[in-house]
Structure 1
Amino acid sequence: MSGEDTVFVALFSGINVGGNRIVKMAELKSFFEGLGFSDVANYVQSGNVVFRAEKGNAAALAKQLEAAFEKKWGFNSRIMVRDAAWLERLVEGNPYPEVAGEPTKLHAYVLEREPTAEETTRLAEKCTGPERFEIKGDVLYLHAPDGIGKSVFANLIPRTLKVPGTARNWRSVLALREMAGKVGG
């Protein structure tokens, strides 16, 4: 490992959902290794990969991975790539620490970019149920007290906000942070 190595997390959107766009995690791990990344580990079936890259920034890695992924599997998956320090900030920035112990009721949406004030206002107007959310940079934190599966508001987020992203429950967020720490340590 050189001093320039960086630990990243790649979060895939829209794979292994409802029996569609199936990608086996062992194949995904081999895919990353075949691209020259090291210390590759994945978490659950929804497409979460922690890896080490010798060089490159998150945006360039996302473009590289998306192109190679589409070539191999024949369909597009938007991939959010962030470094381990970003993931640590996401966890530390949780505006709802009182519900962190209920990981299925707390979610982090990793967004392609920070939403504009207008986009955020439009989303806030739709938040009329028991849910609450806060946006910090390129992360939307959602507390859904009845769970995301029963949340009408959660289903409105993508089409109302119109900023591409992918959501993970708090258990997944914490597991990825732990994995990144082990790879980086």
Structure 2
Amino acid sequence: MQTYVALLYSIVLGEGRRVVMADLKVMAEELGLKNVRTLLATGNLVFEARAAKVADLERRLEVAFEKSFGRHVDIIVRGAEDWLKLAAGNPFPAESAGAADQVAVRVMREPAPEDAVEALHVHAVGDEKVLWVDGDIWLVFSRERPNSRLLAAANHKRFGVGTSRNWNTVRKLTEMVGSRQ
């Protein structure tokens, strides 16, 4: 068995309706996934499964999600080793230590084009930062600009399927994955 992390793009099912993590856990268990755990109420799963292609796991989870909840949601899956590499590759350790909620990574299904990420720099102001690391997009948001345009600019239309998590969530998922290695 191998450990995997799955990130839902959204848990919003419609106006006033959100996925309940207990229901998401049941859905994953019905797929035969083992030791299924959720983190926070924002669509994060850690589970064990027989070694499989990540794309196959994503497809299985997305089909099951749509069947269970009546709506398609993109789900990004990473194997434990890849997740640990993502966390270790955080290019903003000082910012993460000081303001973990202001550091985020857009975890991509397919690597974001490195040159396209350069275009995000026009949306960064003041102390905001953007870096491309192994196909994912790392961002630091300004405390002075609570309505930063960076995250909105790093979207599906521009970069493809992906979803963002702040450093607090990345770190907690890393702890969950690391405890199963």
Within a 5 Å distance, the mapping from 1:1-150 to structure 2 comes to 5-16=1-12, 20-101=16-97, 102-146=99-143, 149-150=146-147
Shift of 1:154: 2.0
| Separation of aligned partners in 1, 2:145 and 2:85 | 23
List gaps (5 residues or longer) in structure 1: none
Please say which of residues 10-19 and 86-95 is displaced more in the overlay.
Answer: 10-19
Alignment RMSD, CA only? 2.1
Deviations 1:48-71 (A, max 9, x none): 000000131211100111111111
Secondary structure of the corresponding residue to residue 104 of structure 1: helix
Q: Percent sequence identity over matched residues?
A: 30
Q: 1:20 to 1:61 in 2, by over 3 A?
A: farther
Secondary structure of the corresponding residue to residue 104 of structure 2: strand
1:14–1:77: 8 Å Cα contact kept in structure 2? Answer: yes
| Separation of aligned partners in 2, 1:85 and 1:156 | 29
Deviations 1:132-184 (A, max 9, x none): 111112311111132885212222221673322100110100100111122x2
Secondary structure of the corresponding residue to residue 33 of structure 1: helix
Q: TM (normalized to structure 2)?
A: 0.90
Q: 1:80 to 1:27 in 2, by over 3 A?
A: same
Total equivalences in the alignment: 180
Q: 1:90 to 1:155 in 2, by over 3 A?
A: same
List gaps (5 residues or longer) in structure 2: none
1:122–1:161: 8 Å Cα contact kept in structure 2? Answer: no
Q: TM (normalized to structure 1)?
A: 0.88
| Separation of aligned partners in 2, 1:16 and 1:60 | 24
Please say which of residues 38-47 and 135-144 is displaced more in the overlay.
Answer: 135-144
